[in-house]
Amino acid sequence: MISRETADRLASAGVTWQPREGDRFSVRAHDLAGEIFTLASMVVEARDYPSGTLLAFNGTTEWALDSLPASNALWLPREDQLRELLGSTFRSLARSSWGGYSVLVEIPGQPERAFTHEDPEEAYAAALLALVQAAR
């Protein structure tokens, strides 16, 4: 799973989130920073309203939290979601010789470039950040 710091860098770079079942997120409030939630219709579901998306916490009697605006949540995208966001720039994921992972991408106008990390999701996220920055 990517770190909150990486997720925050993605959000700050302009990577947007449309909440869907199965998505992982953290609440931006400091006292809940260590909690990871997963959108699931039986526990936490995204409810769209004209005023914005609310994340509704169903049946969570232990929490004093009924819902919160999606803008107060920090999306923690999964490997498949990060790969999908890379789109046609993605070339490969390989295990590196030192035990980590290397994501190879071809950003338009640049030579192929590898992003490595011990966690494949972090390697994907680094590649996505480079892609977003190149698009600016």
Query: Domains of the chain: which residue ranges?
Result: 18-75, 79-135
pLDDT band at 98 (very low <50, low <70, confident <90, very high): confident
The tokens describing 51, both together, are: 């005023």
Secondary structure (3-state) at 50: coil
> CA–CA separation, 85 vs 80, rounded Å?
9
Tell me the per-residue pLDDT of 11-70, one tens digit each, with 9 for 90 and over.
Answer: 999 999 999 989 999 988 877 778 898 887 667 788 899 999 988 877 654 455 567 888
Q: Supply the pTM of this predicted model.
A: 0.83
Q: What is the pLDDT of residue 112?
A: 97
Q: What is the pLDDT of residue 35?
A: 87
Beta bridge partners of 115: 103
Average pLDDT of the chain, as a whole number:
89
User: Could you name the CATH architecture of 79-135?
Assistant: 2-Layer Sandwich (3.30)
- DSSP secondary structure code for residue 133 in this structure: H
pLDDT band at 136 (very low <50, low <70, confident <90, very high): confident
CA atoms 67, 70, 73, 77: torsion sign: positive
The tokens describing 46, both together, are: 């995204």
> CA–CA separation, 35 vs 26, rounded Å?
6
